Amino acid sequence: MHRLVALAVFAALCLALALAPGPDPAHLAARSSGSLLDAEVVLGGLATTVGEALELGIGEAELVLTPPEDEVERTLQLALVTALGARGQAPVVRHDQGGARLRLEVRGLDGELPEQHFQLDPQGTDLPPLDVVVPLSLPTKSALLPPLVAIALAVLFRRTIPALFLGVWVGATLLVHQRSATWAAPIEGGLEVFTHFLYGRLASWDNTRTILFVVAMLSMVGLLVRSGGLAGVMNSVARRANSARGSQVATWLMGLFIFFDDYSNTVLVGSTMRPLTDRFRVAREKLAYLVDSTAAPVAGLSLLSTWIAFEVSTFSPQLPSAGIAPEAGYGVFLETLPFRFYSILTLCLVGIVTLGGRDFGPMLRAERRARRTGQLVAPGSRPMVGEATTRIAPAEGVTPRAINALVPLFAFVLVTLGTILVRGGAFAMDPAALFRFEGLSGVLLAGSGSIPLLVGSTTGLLLAAGACWREGIAREIPGAAWAVLSSMGQAFAILYLAWMIGDVCGELDTAGYLTALLGVHVDPLLLPALLFGLAALVAFSTGSSWSTMMILLPLVVALAFQLGSATEVGGYFLMLMSIGAVLEGSIFGDHCSPISDTTVLSSISSASDHVDHVRTQAPYALLTMGAALVFGYLPVARGWWPAWVGLLLALGFLIGWMRLVGRRPDEA
C-alpha cells in the first residue's frame, strides 16, 4: 500500500514540477549576483577575484550604484549589497569620493536576463580601472530533479543505493547538458558520476576521516563487547532500565548528554545502546529514531556545541541592516531560543514517547513486530550493518566488567573535546576571553571537524584493544574489527552517494531555485512560517542543514526587519522569529531527508534499514512540525500569545496526541 502512495506522490510532484510557473527572474538573478565576488580579474599581473581584491585592500567595498530603472536592477543591487555584507565587507552604498570603488551597472540584453557589468576602480594606485562582466547562470526547474528522483525511488522501491545513484546520474547529465546540449549528455554524465563527483569525495581528506571515524567507533564497540565491558555496563544500566521502556529512556538521556557534536552523538549513542535495546526487543527503527531525534536538536540548541558559532556567523554580518552591531550576534542568538519550536518540541516528544511507552503509525507496527516475534528488523529489509556485527558476543570465559567499556567511552568524549579546544586555539587565548560565551563558542567552531572525531575514536579504539589484551583475548581483536569492516560496504556506499547528491544539488543550485520560489510579496506576519517551510524544503532536498542556513540566513535579517517595522509586532521581534524559523526548518528538513548524512549515520549506528528508518520517523517529525507551526510560528508572529505559551500549548497537544492516538506495542 505504501508503494502505491509513494508512486502517487511521486507522480503528483512530477506533474506539479512540469506545470507550476517558475520564480520571478529578478529573484533568480538576485540569487546569482553574489557571483561577482568570484569573478576573476588581473590586477598588476596578479590573478585574483573581485572579492579577494577587496579583502586585500585594493578596493574598499564602497558601492556606487547606478539608479535602477526597473525591478530587476533594483533586486540585483540589493542582492549585491547582501552578498558583500555576507562576506563581512560592510559596504557603504553611494559613497562617491575617495577610496576604491566598485561600480555596478546592469544592462538589458534584447529582452533576455541581463549580464552583470562591474567596474573595479582602484583609485590612489597605479592600477587601471577594470570592467568585469559576469554572465548570469540561473537555475531552472530541472535543478529539483536529482533529489526528487533519489528520494522518490528510494521510498518506492526500497533500494537506496540504486535510487541515490540515479539521482546523481540525472544531476550530472543535466550539468553536462547545460554546458553543451548534446545527445551524449547521459553518457558523459554517467562518466562524471565517477570522474568528478565520486573522485572528488574520495579525494577529500575530510570525508575519509569521517569514514575512518565511523569504522573506529564501530570497531571500538565490537571490542567493548568481546572484552565484556559493554555487558558490564548493560548489566548495571539494566538494574534500572530493565524493560523496553527503560532502555529507550536511557537512550534518550544519553542523547541529551552528548550535546557538543551531532556526529559524536549519533554514532556513540546508537552503537553503544544497541545491545541494550536489542536485549529488550526494541525495534531498530525505534532506536534510529531516538538517536536521530536527539543529535541535531541537542547540538543546535546547546550553548556549548560546535553548532552555535556557525549559526551566529551566518546572520551576524547582516545585523547592521537592522541597526545592530555585528558583535551583538550572540545576544541575538540567545533571544531566538524561545522561537526554536521544532528542536525543543522534538526533544520533548522523544521523552513523551519513551516515558509513556506509546507509538503510532509505522513505528507502532515495527515495535509490535519486535516485541511479539523478536524480529528487530522487518522481513526483507537491509540493515546498514550486517548480522556479523550485531551478533558479536563477549568472549568465552570473560567476566563482564563495566570499567572495560567506561574508560574507552569517556576517553573518546574527553579526547574529542580536548582536541577541539587545542585546534580552536583555546590554550593560546586569554582566559578572560576564553570563558566568555563568544570566545568559547568560537573555539568550538574553529576546532570542530573530522579530525577531533578521528583522534577521539582512535584513542577509544586503542583503549578498547588494551582492555581485550588485559582480559587475555588479544587474539580476538582482529576478528572483532573485521566483523565490523566486512559488513560496512553498503553503509559507506550510501554515505558517499548522499554526499555526492549534495554536490550535484550545489552545482545545479537547487537551493537557490527553491529560495527564489518564495518571492518577496508575502504577508509580513506569515514570514516566519514561510521561512520555516522554505528552509525545511531546501534542507530536505539537499540533505544539509548547515548549507541551508548559509543560504537563507544572510537574506533574512534585512527582509524580516524591514517587513516587521510596519507591523504591530515590530521589526526586531519579526527578525528574531525569522532567524529561529530558518534554523528550525533547516534541522527539520535535514532530520527527515533520506539523503542527509546524519540520517544515514543514524541508520548505520543503529543497524537499521535506512528506508525503514526514514519511513517510521517521518510521522513523528511531521507531527512536531505541525505543532510548531500551529501553536508557534503562526500565532506567536501575530502576537496572539507569547512564545512560552505556544510551547506549553504545543507540548500539551503532543501529550494528548500520544495518549489518544498512541498505543503500547504489547497491547492487543
- Based on the fold, state whether residues 158 and 223 are members of the same structural domain: no
Asked, for residue 309, whether it belongs to a domain, the answer is: yes
In a domain, residue 368? The reply is: no
Asked whether the CA dihedral 261, 223, 497, 504 is positive or negative, the reply is positive
pLDDT at 100: 39
pLDDT in tens, 497-530: 888 887 888 888 776 777 666 554 567 888 899 8
Q: 138, 166, 183: which is the final residue of a domain?
A: 138
Q: Which domain covers residue 186, as residue numbers? A: 142-193
Instruction: Looking at the structure, tell me whether residues 183 and 273 fall in a common domain.
Output: no
499 occurs within a structural domain: no
Residues 216 and 130 in one domain: no
- pLDDT tens, 110-144? 334 445 555 555 555 555 665 666 555 667 778 88
Closest C-alpha to 133, from 120, 143, 118: 118
Residue 371 lies in a domain: no
d(CA 296, CA 213): 18
pLDDT tens-digit map of 223-281? 888 888 877 877 777 677 778 888 899 889 888 887 667 777 787 888 888 888 988 89
Residues 132 and 175 in one domain: no
630 within a domain of the structure (yes/no): no
In angstroms, the CA 538 to CA 590 distance is 9
DSSP string, 476-537: HHHHHHHHHHTT-HHHHHHHHHHHHHHHHHHHHTHHHHHHHHH-S-S-GGGHHHHHHHHHHH
Considering the domain architecture, whether residues 161 and 129 belong to the same structural domain is answered as no
The sheet carrying 92-93 orders its strands as: 92-93, 62-65, 101-109, 112-121, 130-134
Lowest mean per-residue pLDDT among 178-192, 311-325, 364-378? 311-325
> Are β-strands 101-109 and 62-65 bridged in parallel, bridged antiparallel, or unpaired?
parallel
* 365 is a domain residue: no
* 613 falls within a domain: no
Nearest to 294 by CA among 269, 311, 275: 269
Is-contact 461 216, C-beta < 8 A?
Answer: yes
- What percentage of the chain has pLDDT greater than the value 90? 22
* Arithmetic mean of pLDDT, 145-159: 79
Q: Answer yes or no: is pLDDT of 87 > 60.
A: no
In a domain, 342, yes or no: no
What's the whole-model pTM score? 0.76
236 and 263 housed in the same domain: yes
- 177 and 213, same structural domain? no
Rounded to an integer, the average pLDDT of 421-426 is 86
Contact (CB, 8 A) for 114 and 130:
no
For position 111, what pLDDT does the model report?
A: 37
Q: What's the mean pLDDT in 411-427? A: 87
Q: How far apart are CA 188 and CA 282, in angstroms?
A: 46
Same domain? 148 vs 284: no
Instruction: Note the pLDDT of residue 342.
Output: 95
Do 169 and 290 have their domain in common?
Answer: no
- Residue 612, pLDDT above cutoff 80: yes
Based on the fold, state whether residues 165 and 85 are members of the same structural domain: no
| Beta strand 62-65 pairing with 92-93 | parallel
Candidates 380, 381, 442, 353; CA nearest to 603 is: 381
For the record, the C-alpha cell of 372 comes out as: 511479539
For 425, the grid coordinates are 586555539
DSSP state of 663: B
pLDDT at 625 over 90: yes
Residue 106: what are its φ and ψ, rounded to 5°? -120, 120
Residue 139 has a pLDDT of 74
The string of pLDDT tens digits covering residues 569-601 is: 888 899 899 999 999 999 998 888 888 888 888
341, pLDDT greater than 90: yes
- Secondary structure of 382-404 as H, E, C letters: CECCCHHHHCCCCCCCCCCCCHH
Q: Which residue, of 444, 471, 487, is where some domain finishes?
A: 487
431 & 296 share domain: yes
- pLDDT for 8-58, tens place per residue? 666 666 666 666 666 665 555 555 555 555 666 665 566 666 666 555 544
Residue with cell 547592521: 320
The predicted pLDDT at position 453 comes to 83
Residue with more model confidence, 93 or 656:
656
For the chain, how many structural domains are there in total?
A: 3
Dihedral-angle region of residue 449 (phi above 0 means left; psi in -120 to 50 means alpha; beta otherwise): left
Same domain, 112 and 34: yes
- Mean of all residue pLDDT scores within the chain: 78
Please give, one letter per residue, the 3-state secondary structure of 348-388. HHHHHHHHHCCECHHHHHHHHHHHHHCCCCCCCCCECCCHH
pLDDT at 666: 79
- The residue that leads in pLDDT, 156 or 373, is 373
Query: Which 8-state DSSP code applies to residue 58?
Result: S
- Among 438, 459, 487, give the residue marking a domain's end: 487
pLDDT at 618: 92
Which three-class secondary structure state does DSSP give residue 325? Answer: coil
User: 288 near 367, Cβ under 8 Å?
Assistant: no
**Whole-angstrom Cα distance, residue 347 to residue 557?**
27
Distances (CA, A) of 341 to 121, 649, 653: 48, 11, 13
Task: Indicate whether 353 pLDDT > 80.
Answer: yes
Residue 548 is predicted with a pLDDT of 80
User: Which residues, including other chains, have CB under 8 Å from residue 436's CB and lie 6 or more apart?
Assistant: none
Rg (CA), the chain: 26
Which residues touch 649 (CB under 8 Å, ≥6 apart)?
A: 631, 641
d(CA 242, CA 237): 8
Q: Is the confidence at residue 552, as pLDDT, over 60?
A: yes
Check residue 50 and give its pLDDT.
62
